[in-house]
Amino acid sequence: MDETAFRQARQAAVPHPCVFEKALLAACCTCRLAQRRNIAEREVVACTDAAALEACARLLALLRRNATFSLHLSHPHERLTHAQEIKVQCGGLAGLQRVLAGAEAIGDVSLLVQSARQAQGGLEGLPYSEIVQSVAAYRLRRRSGQS
């Protein structure tokens, strides 16, 4: 299946794609609202709650904007590589978990985002300087066979 056909099939099968799909597929976290589907031997993740999807999208946009410097980007809307996106998603969620609960292990993303929204100041009032430290420190897993 070529990339255009895959995108069309994905759009038809997944009306609400999860914004933290890369983190979920990389096994950095879990989400009770995530629904995994297979399309042409690829796995995709859909969100089953539109309100939660909107909150997650807002959080991810704030994480990307605040991580611009640590990712060595010139502006926050620059397209991220896969590795940079994994760092933002996995590192950002780990940093958020550390700030809110004092633990690094990420549990359920939807519950974490819900806690962040209820924190004083909401999503915009989070201490992103602390959260971004986890983005900068996040290390990708090495492929097997590489040293």
Residue 75, SS3 per DSSP: coil
Q: Which helix (H) or strand (E) holds 39?
A: strand 34-39
Cβ neighbors of 34 (< 8 A, separation 6 or more) are 18, 24, 45, 46, 47, 48, 109
User: Using alpha carbons only, what angle is made at residue 54 by residues 18 and 8, rounded to the nearest 5 degrees?
Assistant: 45
What six digits make up the tokens of 113?
């985002």
Phi, psi torsion values for 44, nearest 5 degrees: -125, 160
Amino acid at 119: A
Query: Residue 46: enclosing H or E segment and its boundaries?
Result: strand 42-47
Question: Per the structure block, which two tokens stand in for 128?
Answer: 């992103």
pTM of the model: 0.88
Q: What is the pLDDT along the chain (147 residues), one digit of tens a residue?
A: 688 888 888 888 888 999 999 999 999 999 999 999 988 788 999 999 999 999 999 999 999 999 999 988 888 788 899 999 999 999 999 999 999 988 778 889 999 999 999 988 899 999 999 999 999 999 887 766 655
